[in-house]
């Protein structure tokens, strides 16, 4: 028997294997708390086994769930979504891709036929950012809904930093697309300008760059701390000791870590890639720089240090912005999509 509140959620549930918590766990938990029965797949670390598990789960629950949510990325994991969606169409099972990958606009051009089958066959495509909503609209897709990435705002206590220091916080996984090596260069450049700087880098090693970063920091004797993966609660508590959040990514959508930093009162300096300019209004809710530009990062960090009043305004404005992403405000949009 199919019930409206029974959902299968397909995505990469790999936090137990050392990766960061992803949307399948955060959104999945939010939905469970709203009395949805959510089955998730997959937590298999091996990519082939994960794909098999996703397809098997789709078949196993096809007569029990009303919708299949599919976290849809833009690189290798894109093909999980393609295969699961094709299986859903065979089974006549409604599916809803959630557009996660910051490079999905490129994927629309690289794989037009696969994308047409995947996205045109969907009940809806959920865009967590206006960046992807507009990109898909330009390519002629109309079955789109904008539902932003969400947080439980009450879990993020706003701390207004009256005294701004150059103690920097970076929270991502150590993967090439997030460009952690740029953070190392930023610290080195600030030291050369006689700025008393420190950096804490939080995140798991998913792309093999953690040891590279550690080695470079050690070789140059840089004041950088590497914590490895931390739980949400651990890094939120850690954030109280830091004044500026830096986001060095080369590609992005609307990263939850940046939303969380804004909620916590950390002024954000970020690259202006993907969906970031749709999240951060430059000079109003944060500071944006060109990708891979350490000089601009240094310039903006020094601006924050020299202009405490402007920094305070950035923090307050950022908090007001991300309060609109609170689950209590977003959940009705999910209820509407899932009940249709």
Among the four given CATH numbers 3.20.20.60, 3.40.190.10, 3.40.50.2000, 3.30.56.10, the one describing domain 3-147: 3.40.50.2000
Domain ranges within the chain, ordered by starting residue: 3-147, 153-324
| 207 band by pLDDT with thresholds 50, 70 and 90 | confident
Find where tokens 């004044």 sit: 243
Q: What confidence tens digit (pLDDT) does each residue in 41-70 have?
A: 999 999 999 999 999 999 999 999 999 999
Once rounded to an integer, what is the mean pLDDT over residues 308-336? 96
Sorted by sequence, the CB contacts under 8 Å of residue 322 that are 6+ apart come out as 151, 153, 259, 262, 263
Q: For CA atoms 211, 215, 217, 223, give the dihedral sign.
A: positive
Residue linked to tokens 């078949």: 59
- Looking at the chain, the whole-number percentage of residues with pLDDT higher than 90 is 91
Distance CA 51, CA 256 (A): 25
CB-CB neighbours of 92 under 10 Å? 7
Phi, psi of 261 (to 5 degrees): -60, -40
Q: Which of 117, 2, 3, 9 is nearest to 57 (CA)?
A: 9
Burial degree of 241 (CB within 10 A; 0-12, 13-18, 19+): exposed
3-state class (DSSP) for residue 123: coil
Contact 38, 7 (CB under 8 A): yes
Instruction: Specify the pTM.
Output: 0.93
According to CATH, the topology of domain 153-324 is Rossmann fold (3.40.50)
Read off the pLDDT of residues 132-185 as tens digits, 9 standing for 90 and up.
999 999 999 999 999 999 999 999 999 999 889 999 999 999 999 999 999 999
Q: So what's the pLDDT on residue 115?
A: 97
Q: What is the band of 4 on the pLDDT scale with cuts at 50, 70, 90?
A: low
3-state secondary structure of 275: coil
Residue 127, SS3? strand
Contacts of 242 (CB under 8 A, 6+ apart): 167, 168, 169, 200, 266
For residues 205-234, give the mean pLDDT.
94
User: Distance between CA 206 and CA 20 in Å, rounded?
Assistant: 9
Query: What is the chain's mean pLDDT, rounded?
Result: 95
E strands in 112-203: 125-127, 144-146, 166-171, 197-202
193-218: average pLDDT: 94
pLDDT at 261: 98
- Mean of pLDDT values over 302-306: 97
Which among 140, 114, 126 is positioned nearest to 71, based on CA atoms?
126
Q: And the tokens for 5?
A: 């509140």
Q: How far apart are CA 239 and CA 105, in angstroms?
A: 33
Same fold for the domain at 3-147 and the one at 153-324?
yes
């Amino acid at each position: 028997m199919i019930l409206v509140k029974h959902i299968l959620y397909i995505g990469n549930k790999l936090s137990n294997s050392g990766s960061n918590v992803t949307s399948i766990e955060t959104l999945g938990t939010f939905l469970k708390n709203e009395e949805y029965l959510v089955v998730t797949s997959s937590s298999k670390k091996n990519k082939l086994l994960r794909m098999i598990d996703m397809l098997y789960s789709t078949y196993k629950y096809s007569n029990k769930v009303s919708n299949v949510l599919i976290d849809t990325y833009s690189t290798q994991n894109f093909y999980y979504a393609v295969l699961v969606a094709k299986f859903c169409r065979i089974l006549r099972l409604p599916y809803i891709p959630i557009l996660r990958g910051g490079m999905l606009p490129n994927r629309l051009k690289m794989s037009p036929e696969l994308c047409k089958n995947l996205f045109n066959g969907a009940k809806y495509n959920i865009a967590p950012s206006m960046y992807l909503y507009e990109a898909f609209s330009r390519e002629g897709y109309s079955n789109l809904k904008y539902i932003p990435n969400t947080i439980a705002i009450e879990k993020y206590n706003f701390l207004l930093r009256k005294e701004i220091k150059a103690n920097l916080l970076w929270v991502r996984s150590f993967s090439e697309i997030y460009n952690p090596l740029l953070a190392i260069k930023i610290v080195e450049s600030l030291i050369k300008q006689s700025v008393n700087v420190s950096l804490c880098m939080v995140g798991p090693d998913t792309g093999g760059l953690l040891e590279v970063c550690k080695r470079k920091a050690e070789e140059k004797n840089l004041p950088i701390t590497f914590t490895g993966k931390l739980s949400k609660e651990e890094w939120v508590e850690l954030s109280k000791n830091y004044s500026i959040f830096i986001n060095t990514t080369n590609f992005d959508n609307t990263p939850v870590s940046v939303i969380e930093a804004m909620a916590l009162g950390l002024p954000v300096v970020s690259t202006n890639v993907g969906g970031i300019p749709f999240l951060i209004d430059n000079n109003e809710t944060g500071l944006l720089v060109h990708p891979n530009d350490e000089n601009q990062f240094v310039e903006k960090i020094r601006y924050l240090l020299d202009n405490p009043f402007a920094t305070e305004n950035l923090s307050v404005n950022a908090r007001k912005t991300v309060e609109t992403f609170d689950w209590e405000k977003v959940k009705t949009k999910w209820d509407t999509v899932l009940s249709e």
